[in-house]
Amino acid sequence: MKSNFTPNHSFQILDEVLAQQIVNPLSLNPNKSLITSFTELEVIVTQHSSDVGLITVLRDTLLRILHALLYNFPENIFWDFDFIVSSMLKQAILAEEKVDLLEDFGNKIVSLMDMFGRNSEIRFRYVHDFMYGFEWARWVQKKPHQRAHLEPFCLNFLDDLISRGEEILQKIKDDDGKYPKISEKRYRNPFCFSREPDSERRLFTYLAAHGCIPVVGWKWDTVGVWNKPFYLLREQASVVLNIPKK
């Protein structure tokens, strides 16, 4: 739905938050280096909705998410938000209680950031696996007949990911073999290859260039792909690129 609503640069505050944190907002888009700015995304949002109140709540929810991401994943490298914003808006437009949905969405994302980030016992370094759909694809693959029609970032997926995080925290508490306790100075890496910043950047750039990203997060209108062996493809790519073993 085309609207006559004129953007008032309310999303500009999101760009300013990134700038204040001295974040280099890299995109995985093979055709450009930096992300679509939030100010640019606001223009697209207003082409799909003229509800000023809804757009304001969307902005406020994104601000909460961005602060949580920066706090919990300060070393994150790639920052594409196009599809996340698109998904949030689409879900809100379809919901009866639009504001409640966005607030619920924001609460769940913030909980996930707190649960998996540097200040928790899980202590992952990046949010790439979530933002670019690797976790979603794995989730769908477990029950494809029930989940294949569910979009990335749907609330059902977020709920299940929160439950999985709670299970991982319990395993860490039990000093599980797969999820042992680690030093507070280390990041957790469940992969067989290094995820140091240079390795992570090279690997994800390669995956994006070769169509091996489940959710093309730098596109507003994209369709998630779940039925490829993404984790195997990533491991194979690490060998091609000579990424060191961890």
Residue 6 lies in a domain: no
Helices (H), 24-154: 38-48, 52-72, 82-94, 98-116, 128-131, 134-142, 144-147
Residue 180: which of 121, 126, 135, 125 has the closest Cα? 121
- Check residue 221 and give left, alpha or beta (phi > 0: left; psi -120 to 50: alpha): beta
The position carrying tokens 């609503």 is: 5
**Inter-residue contact 62 to 85 (CB < 8 Å):** yes
Name the residue range of residue 94's domain.
12-240
In a domain, 155, yes or no: yes
The pLDDT tens digits along the chain (246 residues) read 344 445 566 999 999 999 999 889 999 999 999 999 999 999 999 999 999 999 999 999 999 999 999 999 999 999 999 999 999 999 999 999 999 999 999 999 999 999 999 999 999 999 999 999 999 999 999 999 999 999 999 999 999 999 999 999 999 999 988 899 999 889 999 999 999 999 999 999 999 999 999 999 999 999 999 999 999 999 999 999 999 998
195 within a domain of the structure (yes/no): yes
pLDDT tens profile 187-206: 999 999 999 999 999 999 99
Residue 48 lies in a domain: yes
**Angle at the Cα of 140 (from 127 to 115), degrees rounded to 5?**
35
242 is written with which tokens?
Answer: 């000579």
pLDDT tens-digit series, residues 225-238: 999 999 999 999 99
Question: Is residue 3, in this structure, part of any structural domain at all?
Answer: no
CA-CA-CA-CA dihedral for 153, 157, 158, 159, to nearest 10: 160
The mean of the pLDDT values for the chain is: 94
Burial class (CB in 10 A: 0-12, 13-18, 19+), 137: buried
CA atoms of 228 and 213, how far apart (whole Å): 10
Count CA atoms within 13 Å of residue 76 on its CB side: 32
Count of domains in the chain? 1
Residue 5 lies in a domain: no
* 4, part of any domain: no
CA–CA distances in Å: residue 165 to residues 45, 120, 159, 191: 32, 10, 10, 17
7 in a domain, yes or no?
Answer: no
